[in-house]
């Protein structure tokens, strides 16, 4: 049966999805809670959305060539403030005005990936230069947690855990090779 008929992912795809969800959620949690100090976040969140986006660019030390791209601050708002900009699966009015025409392309790539993703979505996500920058920071600071996700005991969940674990490690390596992250 296909995903459209059943609404479920086939068994192997679900395992990959669950594996990547752990990584992606840890990445988003890092951006929201660890990458910027709490004191800075308190100050930033009192500002209008355009200023918040620029502050995120500065605090995350985004290189100038990326910071000058008009998409960069919008992507950072989507990644860091996802809980505020999308309410009941709809963009807030402030977010809609700020994202403008970029919303149609940026939301699927940088917001929906945290809820549902495929290999093509992950490739598109990880090929973005801003994600390269942020992922490199994340993978250095959260190296221990990343290793724990990769080495998480799978035997209890899947009888063929050793084979699946090897496949997931190979997929992670392939993703790194294809995207440079």
d(CA 137, CA 60): 9
pLDDT in tens, the chain (181 residues): 344 444 444 444 545 556 677 788 888 889 888 888 889 888 888 999 989 999 999 989 999 999 999 999 999 999 998 878 887 778 888 888 998 888 888 888 888 777 776 778 888 888 899 998 998 899 888 888 877 776 665 554 455 556 666 676 777 777 666 666 5
What global pTM score does this model have?
A: 0.73
Tracing tokens 């900009």 back to the chain, one arrives at 85
Q: Give every CB contact of residue 126 below 8 A, 6+ residues apart in sequence.
A: 132, 135, 175, 178, 179, 181
Q: What is the DSSP letter of 32?
A: I
Q: Where are the domains of the chain?
A: 10-179
Q: Which long-range contacts (CB under 8 A, 24 or more apart) does 81-85 make?
A: 81/52, 82/28, 82/111, 82/114, 85/111
């Amino acid at each position: 049966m296909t995903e459209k008929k059943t609404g479920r992912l086939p068994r192997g795809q679900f395992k990959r999805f669950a594996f990547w969800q752990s990584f992606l959620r840890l990445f988003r949690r890092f951006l929201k809670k660890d990458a910027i100090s709490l004191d800075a976040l308190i100050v930033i969140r009192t500002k209008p959305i355009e200023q918040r986006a620029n502050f995120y660019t500065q605090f995350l030390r985004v290189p100038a060539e990326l910071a000058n791209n008009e998409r960069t601050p919008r992507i950072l708002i989507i990644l860091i403030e996802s809980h505020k900009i999308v309410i009941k699966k709809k963009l807030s009015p402030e977010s809609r005005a700020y994202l403008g025409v970029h919303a149609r392309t940026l939301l699927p790539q940088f917001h929906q990936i945290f809820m549902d993703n495929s290999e093509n979505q992950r490739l598109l996500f990880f090929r973005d230069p801003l994600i390269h920058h942020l992922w490199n920071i994340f993978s250095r600071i959260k190296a221990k947690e990343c290793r724990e996700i990769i080495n998480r005991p799978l035997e209890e969940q899947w009888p063929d855990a050793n084979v699946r674990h090897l496949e997931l490690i190979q997929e992670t390596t392939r993703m790194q090779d294809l995207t440079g992250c």
